Each structure stands twice: as C-alpha cells, then as structure tokens.
Amino acid sequence: MAFHRRLLHFRSSFNRWSFSPGAREGFNGSFRSYNATLTPEQTLLQIVKEVKQDGADNLVMDDEIAKIRQEFNAAKQSFLKIPEALKEMPKMNPEGIYVNKNLRLDNIQVYGFDYDYTLAHYSSNLQSLIYDLAKEHMVNEFRYPEVCISFKYDPNFPIRGLYYDKQKGCLLKLDFFGSIEPDGCYFGRRKLSRKEIAEIYGTRHIGRDQARGLVGLMDFFCFTEACLIADIVQYFVDAKLEFDASYIYEDVNRAIQHVHRRGLVHRGILSDPNRYLVKNGQVLQFVKMLREKGKKLFLLTNSPYYFVDGGMRFMLEDSTGYTDSWRELFDVVIAQANKPDFYTSDHPFREGHFSFYKGGCVYSK
C-alpha cells in the first residue's frame, strides 16, 4: 500500500520534473542524479525500481516495529501475571536458614554457642518471673508505691524492637527510616493517635537530637522492662502525679539488673525448671553431629556456671549417656564472660578457677 501511494505521487509529479546533468537533489531530500540522455521510459523504470527499494525498506522497518511491539506486550502481560506467579511459589520454611552469601560450613572448624536463648530456651513464664522480682525490688528498695505489687505482666503488650523516650516517657516502634509507626506509640498503656504524636513530636520522624534521648529495648529480656515501664507510667498518669520519665527508666533497669546479678532469676528457674525451661532435642542432635564431624566446640555465656550446669543437666536428662557429662560436648566452657567486653578486653583469666575434664576445661570467675 505504501508503494502504491508513492507511485501515484511520482506519477502526478513526473511531468514537472526537469533533468539536467547538474541536478542532484532527489526524493525526500536525498541526492540522486538522472542522466539527461535517458528516455522518459528508462527514467520511469529507474524511479519505479528505487521506489520499490524504499518500499522494501519500509516493510522491514514495519516488521521491526511490530516485533518490538509484540515483545513489549509480552513483557507487559508477564508483569501483570506476577501476583499469580507469587501465589504459585512454594512458601518459605519458617524454620529454615537463609543467607545472602554461600558459606562452606565444612570449612569451619570451630563453632561457638551462647547459653540463653541459644542452647536454653524459655517459656513465657520467665518474663512473669523477672517482672515480679523487679517490681518487688522497686517497692522494697526504691520505695515505689505498694500498689505496684499488684501489677501483672501482660505477655500481649510488649514486642521486640521498641524504643523508650526518656524525655517524653513514650514507648516507640520506629520503621526503617526512623519514623514512628502510626500504631506504634504508647504513653503508659494507652496508644497515642496520630494527632497526639504530632503534638508531642511535631512530626513522625525522629531527628538526631531526639534520638539521643531514646534507649533500645531489643532482646527477649527487654519484654519485662517495656511492660514494667509502661505500667508505672500509667500508674502515675492515672494518679495525676508528676514524674520524671528518665528516672522511671533508670529505676526499672536497675531493678532488672539487680535480680539478674544477684542470681534471683537463676535460682527461680532452677527451683522449677519444668515451668521455665523448654527442652529442645534438635539442639542436642545438632551439637552431637558437629562433635562427631570432628569440629571444636565452645560455650561462652554471661550466666554463672552453676546455672548453666543445672539447666543443661535438666535439658539432657532424657538423653542416654549425657545426663552427667554434658561438658563432654564442648572443648571449652566459659561462664560469667562479661560480654561484650570479653571480645575486646586484654585482661587475662584470673580470680577464677579452671576445672578440667576429659577433652576440655571450664572457666568461671
């Protein structure tokens, strides 16, 4: 069709053309010359030949455009089908281990383990135990109101990754960009609205100056801390008493540190291990497998040795051959390590004692 249109145009214009030896400007701005000695029939045949060539070139270009359009539509359809394709993908194993870089574990010769929440796992009752011991210490030693003894730990309130604002007394959940999540700001036990957040902070984004007043409550042991802080703040709000948000944090933190360092939590767990400890046979099987493969194993923990020993005996009591000799699974056991300073300190081992057993040793202060 393009060829016929071009031919009709040439035909209507043919009588207006003049040919001379110096004429070089041709169709569409090109430069073509036609010998003035050619007869009109020969000239027309040459024009028709060139038009056919131009038509062929146009057809090739049309084919390329059609091919590109086809590929674009195919890519568009594939993009629109992504949600359906995601539904058909197998779900990830929640118990699986995924890495961003391959690691040949057979090349790793030494494996280290922590005790709490690594070898030893605890039930939710542990948070209640720490909560009760800490609130009693605050009432008896810090002279907080007696009514605080009636507080109960709420397992549904705290989550991991919270921040406490020591200046304003709010518990915050921040997103990746350092902004307060809309449903993640509590003053005491009351969730603040977006309007209230704006009134307190001016914006949802926490700036560098405001961030200096935040403390992170990141690990499992902080569940108790977050809940007890919120309960005490709420008590003062309900009682219409003035309070310093920073002092509340300091007192709660000191109380929780006290019950750990004094061994109150450790003795409470060992007094009723069935209530607080969760047996996990898979961990034992993994440790045994590494041992059988000739790997060197060590246990490094901040907990005191008597606590680790009692817990490991309880967790392995159902495993034949390991009830009284769990230490044979490890080449070295280090208790009361005082991490993270342990990794950077140059102090030698002293003011403690070593006990050697077949294939390893134990150090404790």
Catalytic residues: 114, 116
Contacts of 131 (CB under 8 A, 6+ apart): 151, 152, 153, 224, 227, 228
Indicate the pairing of strand 190-191 with strand 214-217.
Answer: unpaired
* Unique residue bearing structure tokens 């560098």: 208
Other beta carbons within 10 angstroms of residue 94's beta carbon come to 5
| Sheet-wide strand order for 296-300 | 110-113, 296-300, 332-334, 360-364, 353-357
Are the C-beta atoms of residues 173 and 162 closer than 8 Å to each other?
yes
User: Which residues face 25 on adjacent strands?
Assistant: 31
Q: How far apart are CA 108 and CA 241, in angstroms?
A: 58
Are the C-beta atoms of residues 155 and 124 closer than 8 Å to each other?
yes
Closest CA to 216 of 182, 244, 174: 174
